Amino acid sequence: MPELRGKRDEELLQLYGKLMEELRQRELIRSSNNPVSDYAEKLVCEKFNLTLEKGSNKGYDAIDERTKTKYQIKARRLTSHNRSRQLGVIRNLEQRLFDYLITVIFNEDFSVREIWKIPHEKIKEYSRLSEHQNGYILVLTDTMLKDKAVSRL
């Protein structure tokens, strides 16, 4: 973006800080972390009429109040520099703290590319345990996405 090229590094970081605070005020995000996850949680809850859990809740992010179904929500933003479809670490999988994993794949401009619903029991089948990260690493592969139990929303 030409209007940003002339700015000093410090100015860009200050602008980022202001942008993050504005996104928080508009309730598009709820933490100071990378906005991809917070924005995905908000979109999923609005789209599927789920209740977002307050703060950081161990094991799930949202619940369907009618059915008591619990959802963990993960997101990934694809960019021209990184096309990886690897999601964040899924911890405590054996405790079965959620029923479904909802994954949101964003395009570089934050438009939604895909949303997937994955049953809890399928995650272990398609992920690998990382002892170093103390959880499971799941990559949205074509094989997994073609599984009949996995659905595109």
pLDDT 10s digits, 105-114: 999 999 999 9
Residue 1 has pLDDT above 80, yes or no: no
57 and 99 assigned to the same domain: yes
Provide the number of structural domains found in the chain: 2
The CATH number of residue 109's host domain is: 3.40.1350
Residue predicted with more confidence, 140 or 9: 140
Q: What would the two tokens of residue 126 be?
A: 């398609």
19 and 48 assigned to the same domain: no
115 and 41 assigned to the same domain: yes
Share of the chain above pLDDT 90, in %: 84
46 and 16 assigned to the same domain: no
26 and 81 assigned to the same domain: no
130 and 65 assigned to the same domain: yes
Work out the mean pLDDT of the chain and round it to a whole number.
94
pLDDT 10s digits, 43-100: 999 999 999 998 766 789 999 999 999 999 999 999 999 999 999 999 999 999 999 9
In this predicted structure, what is the pLDDT of residue 42? 94
- Residues 73, 41 contacting (CB under 8 angstroms): yes
**Residue in 75, 74, 127 with CA at minimum distance from that of residue 101:** 74
66 and 12 assigned to the same domain: no
In this predicted structure, what is the pLDDT of residue 56? 67
Which amino acid belongs to residue 46? Answer: E
In this predicted structure, what is the pLDDT of residue 58? 76
DSSP 33-84: S-HHHHHHHHHHHHHHT-EEPSS--SS-SEEETTTTEEEEEEEEE--SS---
How much is the average pLDDT of 143-147? 97
27 and 39 assigned to the same domain: no
> Which residues span the domain enclosing 84?
34-152
**Predicted model pTM:** 0.89
70 and 2 assigned to the same domain: no
**Residue in 99, 107, 115, 108 with CA at minimum distance from that of residue 47:** 115
65 and 9 assigned to the same domain: no
89 and 100 assigned to the same domain: yes
In this predicted structure, what is the pLDDT of residue 32? 77
How much is the average pLDDT of 12-36? 90
Share of the chain above pLDDT 70, in %: 98
85 and 145 assigned to the same domain: yes
